[in-house]
Amino acid sequence: MPTAQGGDKRSFARTRNNSESTRAPQNFDRKRQLSEAQAETMNNSDCRINPRKLGTPRGESHAAVSTSGDRKNRNKPTRGRKKNVFEAYMSMEDVAAGLKRGELIQGPLRINPKKYHEAFIPSPDGIRDIFIDGVVARNRALNGDIVVVKLLPKEQWKVIKPDGSDKETEATHDSDVPEELSGTCLPREPEKGDADSPDVIIEAQFDDNDAQNGQENSQTVLADDIKKLSMDTNEKVKDAESGCAQGAKQDDVSKVNNPRLLQEKFLQRTAKVVCILERKHSRAATGFIKLLADKSSELFKKCAMFSPVDHRVPRAYVSLADCPLDFVSRPEDYSSTLFICRIVDWREDSNFAIGQMAKSLGQAGEIEPETEGILMEYGVDFSDFSQDVLECLPQSLPWVIPPAELASRRDLRKECIFTIDPSTARDLDDALSCKQLPDGNVEVGVHIADVSYFVLEGTALDQVASERATSVYLVQKVIPMLPRLLCEELCSLNPMKDRLTFSVMWKMTPEGKILDEWFGRTVICSCVKLSYDHAQSMIENPSKVFGPEELPPVSPQHPVDEIHRAVLNLHRIAKHLRKQRFIDGALRLDQLKLSFTLDKESGMPQGCYIYQYRDSNKLVEEFMLLANMAVAHQIYRSFPQQALLRRHPPPQTKMLNDLMEFCDQMGLEIDFSSAGALHKSLNEMFGADSYAEARKEVLTNMFSRPMQMALYFCAGVLEDETLFRHYALNVPLYTHFTSPIRRFADVLVHRLLSASLGSGRPVQMRKEAIQKQADHCNDRKMASKRVQELSADLFFAIFVRECGPLESEAMVMGVLNKAFDVLVLRFGVQKRIYCNALPLTGVRFEKVGKKPELTLLWEPETPEQEVAPQVITIFTLVEVVLTSDSGPLKYSAVLKRPGREK
């Protein structure tokens, strides 16, 4: 485990609840407040918590929530009772046998951050997720763990309500629009998780006074629900037969009469965890400490209670010896202090875990403590690089390229090569060139920093880079994968500096048709560091003569007009490439991305804005995609068993079907048959006015939800080559080659490419080792993505707190029976608006045709006014106000009364 910054040798990671509300120290969940009076004493010899001497406290706990799996352990005194709360895990031998026989199912566990007693794993058939009902059924597994589950009897399966009137979120799918398709990090309402699945879970209505009859009650409720569903479907059959059903088709009759299809549509399988195969979750969390409630208990003298911010992590006993010295005498002084705690044990006979305090982070709601907590939760190594690692770097500075290395490379230092990056970028790992040829064609080059020259296999530097796997980009800083000497100096393609590169060069027609292709190690000298703004200005002003004061320093070897022509030529070719990509069936889902302006002294957010994706961004993107695809083909041809590639599976079937049904209900003609068809539908069905643009943003957000993660993989471990495909790019082979400063996967691809050209060491890694590294890169990439989102959430919550209230137009994107979800268009965030928080005299929910509709009846503001109705449907435009709540990082959206001026 890497060492955390600040001298503490223990580093922890967590799965943080993406919720501004739950970070607040005042927001402890009352349902989880327990009486610890019945807890047994600690080990007196050590002043540390002995997990073997902790029984089960009486009263509700994190594991005792209102679910069927937990009822038998709820509100039962434990004194003298030896019964375990959780089942013992199955042996690995039994697990292997059960998986082989198909009696057990394995998969990654996803816990609903909004309802922590609900969890899911993907179904092997790709249809409806398997539901894990309650913390007891989850059996001490945490979010992200790879678990093995056993299906429960059919009478314990869950019923899906057909009308969806009280639709809630499954909210745990790791939907991901790959960076090559959007390049965005969307600030979202974290309580709602990663995606709102249309699945609706109806929990059995148990008798709270008689938990022992839970199974009988379950069967009764299930029978009643199925009976009701049968009545509903019988009505549909009659309607279909009479031709009265809206939009009914002839085969609808057979569908609703088919028990198997009825089961698939209205029943969701449930299961319990019987084994944790891999603990992906780090067992660490940020949270708050408090004294135990019963001051007379022996346990009160030994330990405190740690309450994680993320309710998916259990509460834990921690030793008072690890708490601040004056905590017992002045606990109120620490009510708003964030701490890091690691879960070290969670026994079968206890609702509580055992934790070990790591460090105090600081005050909740402040940027640095919150940021450090996010990094530690997700296992981001932000410590200083060790001396062993630094010794792998060139020791003689300033460093110059050795003559022998220069002689072995193609020398491009006299060519007009330049970088285009964000203005704040310091790790410049890609450059472009475009030279006009005498025959009317052009030579285009993509030149990538040759990181593999400095990061040699088997070294300490290689080891730490492979462990970090990616740089992590926060709002205010970057946690680099490599030492800054490399990522900001020796590898960064800084202007007027000789740099080692790996290049892909093409001879092209002016329309972008490739005539010839070349790969090789090169040396370049960038002539200018352009920002996207500079390149965009050149594109928008093709005839303008730019003065030296309008651009960064330019090499005297290349006049500004030469650079300008090269940018215009690249832009022209990129437009052809992009057009052809989408003709060939590619998909792009551009979600709103929030960017911040920060105060240079305080680091606090001064303002925020939606990032504009312009032609200069598209120019760079097209050539990076082209290079990645070219390298993928090259390394796969050379090493079909060892090539490190990147695949993007098709959308999740169940979620896609639900989305298709939704679009049908809304009267939207969307073609879901392929990625290209979806892209065409999304971009051709709307006009150019602001309302149409808002609808497009909402639909783009919805379409991203069924998308699965794009994954690195080793070609040799997948026998079926059709699985290699990248769904959204609609190409057979793809990889990452263009960002080796910030992604270790690209370093491995560089080594493979070098070996394929005979200019590097032969590939020594076996396919199993490459796949293991690919899996690790996938894990760290997802963690980095979550950290980036949480950093944006943090800064936006602080911005609302410091600069709010903030008004914005918003569009409704989901309607429930007592609430509705909106996309706040000015800031790109999603919020849920609850009707009971509004000054209403009443609320009416109904289905108009197939569309859900809420009618809000506003209270009159004066006696002369009448009740004002407001109809809320999907795609309704409303005015909202974002206001900071009681917690330091909690904010909410309030609906403005209709008719009021902005």
* Bridge pairing between strands 353-363 and 337-345: antiparallel
Residue 887 has what pLDDT? 74
DSSP 22-43: TTSTT---GGG----TTPPPPB
Alpha helices (H) along 584-644 = 615-638
Residues 291, 332: Cα–Cα separation, whole Å: 10
Residue 180 has what pLDDT? 59
Number of residues assigned to the chain: 902
3-state secondary structure of 838: coil
What pTM does this model have? Answer: 0.81
Residues 357, 334: Cα–Cα separation, whole Å: 14
3-state secondary structure of 132: strand
Residue 160 has what pLDDT? 77
Q: Is 487 left (phi over 0), alpha (psi -120 to 50) or beta?
A: alpha
In the chain, list all ranges with CATH 2.40.50.700: 284-366
**For 259-265, which contacts have Cβ atoms below 8 Å and span 24 or more sequence positions?**
262/229, 262/230, 262/233, 264/127, 264/128, 265/160, 265/162
Stretches where the chain sits below pLDDT 70 are 1-82, 161-265, 900-902
CATH label, 284-366, candidates 1.20.1600.10, 3.40.50.300, 3.30.70.20, 2.40.50.700: 2.40.50.700
Nearest in space to 804 (alpha carbons), one of 824, 775, 782:
824
Residue 432 amino acid letter: L
Interacting residues of 547 by C-beta distance below 8 A, sequence separation 6+: none
| Cross-strand pairs, 822 | 812, 831
355, exposed or middle or buried, with CB in 10 Å at 0-12, 13-18, 19+?
A: buried
In the chain, list all ranges with CATH 2.40.50.690: 92-159
Residues 639, 436: Cα–Cα separation, whole Å: 34
Residue 263 has what pLDDT? 58
Residues 269, 488: Cα–Cα separation, whole Å: 52
Distances in Å between the Cα of 539 and the Cα atoms of 446, 536, 555, 566, 567 are 19, 5, 21, 11, 7
- Residues of the binding site: 421, 430
Instruction: Please measure the distance between the N-terminal and C-terminal CA atoms of the chain and give it in whole angstroms.
Output: 53
Residues 277, 92: Cα–Cα separation, whole Å: 9
Indicate the class that CATH gives domain 92-159: mainly beta
How large is the C-alpha radius of gyration of the chain?
29
Contact 23, 888 (CB under 8 A): yes
3-state secondary structure of 76: coil
Would you give the distance in Å from CA 783 to the centre of its chain?
8
Q: What is the DSSP letter of 529?
A: E
Residue 192 has what pLDDT? 26
In the chain, list all ranges with CATH 2.40.50.140: 805-895
Cis peptide upstream of residue 398 (ω within 30 degrees of 0)? yes
Residues 822, 829: Cα–Cα separation, whole Å: 8
Indicate the class that CATH gives domain 805-895: mainly beta
- Residues of the binding site for Mg(2+): 421, 430
